[in-house]
Structure formats: C-alpha cells, structure tokens
Structure 1
C-alpha cells in the first residue's frame, strides 16, 4: 500500500491479519501499541506482526509505504513482536519498486526474488519501544502524556507528586513496577526518541538540546549516547 497523510493525521487503533513492514519514504510516523511507542523517521521502519493492535499519527507530511506479509513461509522468518528496522538505501529502493504491484504471486519469480532479498537485508535495530503506562493509572498517564507532549519538561518526582496527589516514593515505585525503568531514565528516553525526527531533518544539536531542557549540547549528547548507544551527530550516518 502506498498512501500520503497530511501532518497531524491520525489512524485509530486497528490490526491486520497480515504482518506489516511499515516505512515512510518522507515524514515521521508516531506508531503506538498498547505497551509501547515509536517515533519513526525515514531511515527507520517498524515490523508489526499479525493481529497486533496499533495506531499511527503523522508528524509532518508522511508518504507511507507498507508491505503486507501473508505467506507463512515469510512470517515464520519474522519476529512475533513489533520491532524497529534499519532501512538501508537498498531496502528503500526495493520497497519502492514493490509498490508497483498490489500483490506478489509465487508465479512472479522476479518480484518474489526481490521480496526474498528485502527480507535478507533486514537489520533489526537495537532501539526498543518507549514503554507506555497502563491506561488504568491516571497518575502515570498524566505525567507521561505531559512529558510526551513537551519533552523539555524538567519537573522532578517531588514536583509531580504535588501535582498528581501521590508521594514521590509511590511514583518512583510505579515507574519501576509498571514501566520497568526509573522516572529519570524514562524521561531521558522520551528526549532521545523525540530528537530523532529533528536530527533526521538536520536541525542543529544546540537547538534540540535547548528545547529538550538541557543547558549545554554536550550534556544532551552524553544523555543521547547512553540511551541510543551512539552520538547524535553519528546516529544517521
């Protein structure tokens, strides 16, 4: 499927009986499941297994390219949970070439070879989804949604505790219990992931660091390297 979405367009929760390799030739997608969220620039894609409920929001104009995988032969080679994919220039061109047809039949050996090559070229990214809080905890929901909308929010747990009506100790326990990480680490993940679309667009690290609430670019770069295992300036090289 090839489809364009205007900035801000949202596709509500849905699932498919097929698996999906989801890729945007241009623009940034926000993809979320019940437990995690990805911000996906053009250099990345997402493998979404069959029957996994997910939603999408376009950040900027998005030119979406999706391959639906039905064949058990291919599905058994692919993960059973959503996973980030590094999209190489070769993979990008194969995906765009496969967009010329609605379906790939076993009788079409040329296109089947292209699909085989595409799957053999997949490099699974080490990036994990940003864990999201359960819907039934309004305190975590309020904190997390506020930070997702404004990654530069630097409030600490004591300040959040006064706002949401819980002790800082309770909030610290909930982050570890429900999200598997500390509050500080979760907030740093948001900053690092939110920076990806802007780094992809070539924005200066100085500006990104300031918007994320960091006093210096070096402090932001140090955090980014800890989370993403690579410096911001090297991430898309």
Structure 2
C-alpha cells in the first residue's frame, strides 16, 4: 500500500522472533504504541523483516495495518494476523495501539496456517493471549504455565480465518487504478472510465485484476471499502457517515455488503469491538 516509508517513525528491533527454544514454544511481547506521543502521523515496524519464529500479531486495542508480501490487512481488536516462520512482513500503527505479539517456535507451528492469515480472536483466545503476556518468557517445561501455552496453540489452530486480505498488483495499469482508489475509495467510476486512466480496455483491465489480485475489480473494491469501514468504525465514527463517504447510495446497501463479508452488521461489529477493547 503506497505510503511515505521514509517519514514513518520506526519501532526498535524485536529480538523475540529470533530466540529458538522448543522448551519455550510461545514467547510474548507487549508494547504500547502511540504515534501522537512520538509526534508521528503513523508508526512503522523496524523494517520489512523475517524471523525464524512464527508470529501472531494482535492488538488488544487500536488498529494495525499489516503487510505480508503484497497483501495488506487492516486489523481491528477482534482479529489477529498469523505470520508463519520466515515470512517477510511489516506492521504500521495509524493510532494508539496496545500491541500483544506472540512468537511461536518452529517446533510448535504444526497445524497453523502456512501463509499469512487473519484469524478471528474469540473471547477465550483473547484471554489466553493476555495470559501469555502475563506469564512472560521464563516458564518451565511441563509446568502449569507451559500447559497454558499448549492450550493457546490449540485455540490458534482452530481459529477461524477472516476475508480481510487486500492484495496488491504488479502490473502498472492495475496499480494506477489501485493507487487512485486508495486515495479516494468512494470513487464509483466503472471499468470503462478506469480503463482510460489505466491505459487498457475495460475487458483487459477486468482480466488483469483477476490475474494480478485473485479478485474481480468489484470484489477488490468491495474489500477496500471494507478495510476503510473497519478503520473508521474503530475510530468511533457513525455508520451512516461512513456509508455515504464510501460511495454507497443507501445505508441499507452498505449494511448488506458489510454483513455478507463479516456476518454481522457494522453497528453490531462496532459494539463487539468496543466490548473486546474495554
């Protein structure tokens, strides 16, 4: 996702992802991130990086943007991103965030996704993540705290994936359209109009969207609107204003899209997120 990387405030490097020890299947990290206190518009991770431990990136409050390869996710407190071992990734924080990361030893990742995946954080999983942070990183093998980590890993293995992936493209024609929509997601122009901007026919552009992103143009734009809606709901904005700003002609059409994608209405989603955060 286009952004001025040079102007981002960087977090210090994280060492936990490189500590290999099968006797510590889960290592935790808790950081309070505040762009406002650091006088930054947005804070980025140390750099695009990889580490031998897998990582569950979770914010108990606040919103994150996670990039794996060319896929982008906006992640609220009801979800977490699983990053498998040795997968390049980067994390950005547009606002105050309570980051709670778990680093999983390669010996314990069996049964977890083989690619970056957004997982739903059920109440039990949330409590186990917070408990892992409380336990810290000096627990004994086969003790009570070690068993908590095993239950946590079991819950991760059965966590449900969510459709929050926003794939980018490599073709310049597709990226011209994507860049414009990222700046103005409420732009309702059709493929014929976008084709003139991209320098391709509407048929070619439609084909390129599928081959480059795995989504149709309409599917990709709907996913972008969902990202933007989640971000604004997390900021406490009203559903009606979000719907019309994103180009929907009616509130009911926006609610229907949201419910089809995430299974709940935007108001219900916002209430659940607030209850999880509080």
TM-score, scaled relative to structure 1:
0.89
Structure 2 CA distance for aligned equivalents of residues 64 and 45 of structure 1? 10
- Residue in 2 that maps onto 1:129: 165
Helix, strand or coil at the partner of 1:85:
strand
- Residue in 1 that maps onto 2:151: 117
Residue 174 of structure 1, CA deviation? 0.4
- Residue in 2 that maps onto 1:3: 31
Report 1:42-61 matches (<5 A): 42-61=77-96
Distance 1:82 1:104, change over 3 A: farther
Q: Which moved more, 1:178-187 or 1:103-112?
A: 103-112
Helix, strand or coil at the partner of 1:3:
strand
Residues 163-205 of structure 1: per-residue CA shift (max 9 Å, x gap): 2222222211101211122111110111112212333444321
Structure 2 CA distance for aligned equivalents of residues 78 and 185 of structure 1? 27
Aligned partner of 1:32 among 67, 73, 82: 67
Residue 160 of structure 1, CA deviation? 1.6
Report 1:222-237 matches (<5 A): 222-235=256-269, 237=272
Residue 149 of structure 1, CA deviation? 3.3
Distance 1:39 1:33, change over 3 A: same
Report 1:88-237 matches (<5 A): 88-107=122-141, 109-122=143-156, 123-134=159-170, 137-235=171-269, 237=272
User: In the alignment, is the contact (CA less than 8 A) between 1:192 and 1:228 conserved in 2?
Assistant: no
User: In the alignment, is the contact (CA less than 8 A) between 1:28 and 1:58 conserved in 2?
Assistant: yes
Residue 25 of structure 1, CA deviation? 1.6
Structure 1 CA distance for aligned equivalents of residues 96 and 147 of structure 2? 32
- Aligned structure 1 segments of 4 or more residues deviating by more than 6 angstroms: none
Q: Which moved more, 1:138-147 or 1:42-51?
A: 138-147
User: In the alignment, is the contact (CA less than 8 A) between 1:38 and 1:130 conserved in 2?
Assistant: yes
CA RMSD in angstroms, aligned pairs only:
2.1
User: In the alignment, is the contact (CA less than 8 A) between 2:118 and 2:164 conserved in 1?
Assistant: yes
